[in-house]
Amino acid sequence: MASVFATAPLAAQTLRVDPPHWWVGSSVNRLELLVSSDAELSSVTVSAPGIAVVSDVPAANPRYRYVTVEIQPGAKPGSATVVAEVGRKKIRTEWKLKERRPRAAAPGLSQRDLIYLVTPDRFANGNPSNDDVAGMTERGSDRNHNYKRHGGDLAGMIAHLDYVKSLGATAVWPMPLLENDMPAASYHGYAITDHYRIDPRYGTHSDYVNWVDGLHARGMKAIKDMVFNHVGTGHYLYQSPPDSSWFNAWPSAPANDPRAKARGEEKPAFTSIHRYQTLYDPYAAARDRERQTDGWFVGSMPDVNGRDPHCARYLIQNSLWWIEEAQLDGFRVDTWLYPDQAFMREWMAAVKAFEPQFYVYSESWVHSAHAQAFYLETHPDLTGAADFPMYWGLKKAVERPSGWNEGMADIYNALAADYLYGFDRAGDHLVTFLDNHDEGRFFGKVGKDLDRFKLGLGMLYTLRGIPSIYYGTELLYSALDDHGAMRQDFAGGWPGDKTSGFTGQGLTVDQREAQAYVRQLGALRLANPLIGTGNFMQFTPDMGSFAYAWYSDSEVILVLANGDDRVHRWPTERVADLGISPYTTFTDLIQGGTVTAGAELLFPAKGIRILRAVR
């Protein structure tokens, strides 16, 4: 970057206002508009009935002004005229006040939901005409290259909403769909270059709103992936920031490696040490804490400084804008442990004040329950978190043999630690998973063992929390380690594909069995509301076997999980704690039929039984 306040054109716009519009009747009626141009601005006015300009303050960069407006209670929908003085000239644009759309249903998620995670570029290509967009830094698509764009888009996501619902999913979380105008690897979405623009290679703004509306029409929910720690180096606010304090580790230097430069990387003053423990460690060095929150995530992603009040307001208003604009139901927040934590509390409080039932869960990538408890305790408005401690437990239970205090005992220990989270049934609101877009595919982790695959999914769908499944899990995708490989194209999502997960064409016998099993588990959760809402009890594990139950005054669902290669026997006298007889007759919710317990119940080798009894 040649200078802090460069004067490159702003995406061919002569005058830009963020947020691009607002709504009458909103609970937030005081906004700080970020007005920008490709020339120096000397003043800005906003003229419309019902809008009062509170202040017009220049930013350090003369291309920007912070214009605070207040929307009066009697304001009507319509257009305001924004006039900026540029030297001796005046330039104009419109800024609109809109009518709020009524919500079809209250936002939010609960422990009855099931999340389906999608990598949009790799799910389905519904509109090949947007595969190559003129003006974007990275052009074209190449399905043979793991880190190039493949062409998946919103049209493809919309076309296959019924398929996602057929799996029992009630909510969809796509990786970010905002513009990533970066020179390479722009497919993943986490190097955002415009907070208000859907990436045109995914489609239009209307396509995104239509996708959300399509979910709501099916009784499903939309989750938006939010990123506050960093942006891409191509972001116009980084290329020419309102003030140098918007970003940490300033200034950076061009990368020395030509290959890094081709990826849009720069050489930051320092990178993050990726040690979340520094934020609660009583012995941590101050410099280490600073590097955790202020260091760049990677060289292509500048670190955003939420301590700057104007930057903080920009990000908060953007979040509220998307909630209202698209009628979203929840946020998943990327890299929660890296931004300034005081800013994250401020942001979270603003979201909950704006939409109290809105669901927000963090990517708090920790390795222990006590660390997870720290972040939940220090962010009291946070609804939930991606449950990494449970993830590590499930991995150990399914991927390798159990011991006295490992394997199934790791799940038992993770559940027992729920007391740390400080509020009633906190674990219900945690998002559980077996893999995701950053971790190797679950089927690969279990050595492509279909029995262990079924065991893991059976537990995921019946333990406490909100389960999340990654697209393609149902097709036994198995890539490990390489991000580009594990985010592979969904079969049938492209014209000419010889196999299709959507129709079943060309799938192997094992793939058909796995997909049917995922559908069966999804239907099982939907048909049995006791799972996730009833009382929960777990029983101490016996090496590879582990039992737990959901129960109420009228019914019991008992789950018997076994990670060992041999059958385990379980004395049915242990069900006395559930208030039922050891000789109760159960319905087998997986295999069908009934099971009348005698002195003992059997845990199938490398398997799971889900049994229901009526009191």
pLDDT > 70: what percent of the chain?
A: 97
H-helix or E-strand containing 545? strand 545-551
Give the lowest-confidence range in 19-28, 112-121, 244-253, 466-475. 244-253
Position 367 pLDDT exceeds 50 = yes
Calpha distance 82→248 (Å, rounded): 31
- Strand boundaries in 209-268, DSSP class E: 221-227, 253-254, 266-267
* Local structure of residue 544 (DSSP, 8 states): T
- The residue-averaged pLDDT of 290-305 equals 94
- Residue 256's pLDDT is 73
* Model confidence pLDDT, tens digit, residues 62-76: 999 999 999 999 999
Nearest to 46 by CA among 38, 57, 58, 54: 54
- Strand boundaries in 302-448, DSSP class E: 330-334, 359-362, 384-385, 431-433
Residue 424 binned pLDDT confidence (cut-offs 50, 70, 90):
low
Position 8 pLDDT exceeds 60 = no
- Taking phi over 0 as left and psi of -120 to 50 as alpha, with beta for the rest, 545 belongs to beta
- Residue 398's pLDDT is 94
Residue 6 binned pLDDT confidence (cut-offs 50, 70, 90):
very low
List of residues 6+ apart from 149 with CB closer than 8 A = 121, 131, 138, 140, 141, 142, 186, 187, 201
Calpha distance 242→573 (Å, rounded): 69
Position 593 pLDDT exceeds 80 = yes
Q: How far is CA 405 from CA 248, 539, 560, in A?
A: 43, 14, 18
- The residue-averaged pLDDT of 144-168 equals 97
* Model confidence pLDDT, tens digit, residues 499-542: 999 999 999 999 999 999 999 999 999 999 999 999 999 999 99
Reduced to 3 states, what is the DSSP secondary structure of residue 32?
strand
Q: Are 586 and 597 in contact (CB under 8 A)?
A: yes
DSSP output for 366-406: -SSHHHHHHHHHH-TT--EEB-HHHHHHHHHHHHS--BTTB
Distance of CA 54 to the CA centre of its chain: 36
Start-end of H helices in 89-190: 154-159, 161-166
Catalytic residue annotation: 334, 363
* Model confidence pLDDT, tens digit, residues 530-582: 999 999 999 999 989 999 999 999 999 999 999 999 999 999 889 989 998 88
- The model carries a pTM of 0.96
**Intrachain domains 15-98 and 535-614 with the same fold:** yes
Position 11 pLDDT exceeds 60 = no
- The residue-averaged pLDDT of 231-240 equals 96
Residue 2 binned pLDDT confidence (cut-offs 50, 70, 90):
very low
- The residue-averaged pLDDT of 269-290 equals 94
Give the lowest-confidence range in 365-369, 400-404, 452-456. 400-404
* Model confidence pLDDT, tens digit, residues 388-413: 999 999 999 999 888 888 999 999 99
Residue 80's φ and ψ, nearest 5 degrees, are -105, 150
- The residue-averaged pLDDT of 369-391 equals 95
- Taking phi over 0 as left and psi of -120 to 50 as alpha, with beta for the rest, 42 belongs to alpha
Mean pLDDT, the chain, whole residue set: 94
- Residue 404's pLDDT is 87
Residue 475's φ and ψ, nearest 5 degrees, are -105, 15
- Residue 12's pLDDT is 36
- Residue 501's pLDDT is 98
- Residue 254's pLDDT is 72
Residue 583 binned pLDDT confidence (cut-offs 50, 70, 90):
confident
- Residue 258's pLDDT is 79
CATH class for the domain made up of 535-614:
mainly beta
pLDDT > 90: what percent of the chain?
A: 87
Start-end of H helices in 91-204: 154-159, 161-166
Q: Are 149 and 165 in contact (CB under 8 A)?
A: no
Q: Which CATH superfamily is domain 15-98 in?
A: Immunoglobulins (2.60.40.10)
Position 10 pLDDT exceeds 60 = no
- Residue 401's pLDDT is 84
Q: Where are the domains of the chain?
A: 15-98, 238-291, 535-614
**Residues facing residue 224 across a β-bridge:** 331
- Strand boundaries in 28-184, DSSP class E: 30-37, 43-47, 51-58, 64-71, 78-86, 89-98, 115-118, 171-174, 178-179
Residue 188 binned pLDDT confidence (cut-offs 50, 70, 90):
very high
Position 13 pLDDT exceeds 80 = no
* Model confidence pLDDT, tens digit, residues 327-356: 999 999 999 999 999 999 999 999 999 999
